Structure 1
Amino acid sequence: MAAQPEGTPCWADAMFSDVEGAKSFYGDVLGWTFGEASSEYGNYTQAYADGKAVAAVVPPMPGQEGQSAWCLYLASPDAAATAGKIRDNGGTVLMEPMQVGDFGSMLLAQDPSGVTFGVWQAGAHEGFEAKAVPGAYVWGEVFTREPEKADAFFPAVFPYKVQRIEDESMPDLDFKLFNLGDETVLGRMKMTEEFPPEVPPYLNVYFTVEDCDAAVERATKGGGVLRFGPMGSPFGRFAALSDPQGASFSVIDINTTEGEMPKTTDVT
């Protein structure tokens, strides 16, 4: 598996004060198993779906304790050059490019609207070993209250072409698609008043499940909170959740679809 094209979502991880609790929750909800904690790298622990690496959990570094959140990493051939583009386009580099052994290089950043994301320059670790299978990442969406800032920033930093979703049944929908060639790799949704003001902008990750409703039931029994759904769509039946430590994520059954695919219009 070669390194992913620039701008492709390639990895996801999250910091948890209670790592064992997170392992128990996601093991139950998504069927993950876990490798050994890597003490050399802050007890970074990879999660596996059917033996394939799909994410990681890690305890917070000293001084980094706070709200748990999933971080989605976007592929870059040169993390230092991407850091420069982030700054040049009004973003903030939260953590400078850092070499992680022979695995690769990473940085953390925020777009001008406050959405946190990661950048990964692959070395020995090329990213997701599986996608769009039960337990694995399948989709990501930028949730922002200032869509015009996100829409200007991300295609300037990464080689995205942008399309707008057109849905006559939802005239107020403000949703964009970020494409690499013929592949759609990210969505961008404007946060409406349905989002409580205390919820910050974020990059929402979707994990694949065989049965959305069953996954929601497992999540809520395990202390998670259902935020939205389950709901049918042309892309699959999905629901938005928060885990017991407050990290937001979504689950989707991509094989159970309903309705027609929406029309799209090229923006750039």
Structure 2
Amino acid sequence: MKLANPVPGRPCWVELSTSDVHAARAFYATLLGWRSETDPRPEAGGYTMARIGEDAVAAFSPLYRQEQRAAWTVSFATADADASADAVRSAGGTVLMGPMDVFDLGRFVVAADPAGAVFSVWQARAFPGAERFGEQGTLGWAELRTPDPKGALAFYPAVLGWTVNATGHFTHWGVGGTDFGGMKEHTGEPTRTPPHWLPYFTVADTEATAATALASGGTPLAPPRQVPGGPWVATLRDPQGADFGIRTP
């Protein structure tokens, strides 16, 4: 769907920190049909916007620290970044960066929940965030992988005002009763895959897109499968090591 204005609490942007922006641009162009352009201003630090048509849908940025790993970061809209930072601290999370202005575009905070999963919040000014959501090639779902589901259930509704829809073994996150993502208990080796937010991009054919990713240097993490009564999904790792998902509604 086309997004005219960000909805507080909902995902509004997604960006990839990667060791090789040029290679990442080529990989995701092949996979999701993105075209991208790098901000030429030195102070932008190589920030690169990805688009479908004329609509902004995601971004790439270089790694800025030697110990930093390639990863996607999901951003959630907020009406007040400073208040969100206070809410993160009050709920037991950690503010890692900000609140900070980005030119005249907006104000942001990078934070970690009590289990260590990193996310950001974005207070829009000139730049509202993603202009499409749930369409082919765009962010369609955001899933928290955490070893502490109980803690997450207390943290995120307090910080971002989410609704919770728990069904069976899966928890859905929503705003105003409309779900945009979920949560899955994370049982992997923490040193290899720490708690994280996993973006899922919408594709027309999960199996065909997974095959394209593998042919382009990606790595399969979970093969295509259908969620009972729901979408087809698969999880992958791009050539620089960032994990992501794909889904066909």
Same-fold call, TM cutoff 0.5: yes
Taking a change above 3 Å as real, the CA distance of residues 46 and 65 of structure 1, as seen in their structure-2 partners, is: farther
Q: 1:54 aligns to what?
A: 57
TM-score, normalization: structure 1?
Answer: 0.87
Q: Is the 8 A contact 1:17 1:65 kept in 2?
A: no
Q: 2:225 aligns to what?
A: 231
1:174-193, aligned counterparts within 5 Å?
175-192=170-187
Q: 1:100 aligns to what?
A: 102
Q: Please, which of 203, 211, 214 is the counterpart of residue 205 of structure 2?
A: 211
Deviation at 1:2, TM superposition (A): 4.6
Deviation >6 Å, runs of 4+:
none
Q: 1:266 aligns to what?
A: none
Gaps of 5+ in 2: none
> CA separation in 1, counterparts of 2:180 and 2:17?
24
Query: 1:133 aligned to 2:127?
Result: no
Deviation at 1:65, TM superposition (A): 5.1
Q: 1:143 aligns to what?
A: 145
Q: Please, which of 68, 74, 77 is the counterpart of residue 75 of structure 1?
A: 77
Deviation at 1:238, TM superposition (A): 1.1
Q: Is the 8 A contact 2:34 2:137 kept in 1?
A: yes
Q: Is the 8 A contact 2:91 2:155 kept in 1?
A: yes
> CA separation in 2, counterparts of 1:36 and 1:112?
34
Gaps of 5+ in 1: 167-172, 255-268
Identity, % of aligned pairs? 39
> CA separation in 1, counterparts of 2:114 and 2:137?
31
Q: Is the 8 A contact 1:135 1:209 kept in 2?
A: yes
Q: Is the 8 A contact 2:140 2:180 kept in 1?
A: no
Question: What is the alpha-carbon root mean square deviation over aligned residues?
Answer: 1.4
Amino acid at match of 1:201: P
Aligned length: 244
Amino acid at match of 1:30: L
Query: 1:43 aligned to 2:46?
Result: yes
Task: State the SS of the aligned residue for 2:38.
Answer: coil
> CA separation in 1, counterparts of 2:40 and 2:79?
25
Q: Is the 8 A contact 2:220 2:235 kept in 1?
A: yes
TM-score, normalization: structure 2?
Answer: 0.93
Task: State the SS of the aligned residue for 1:156.
Answer: helix
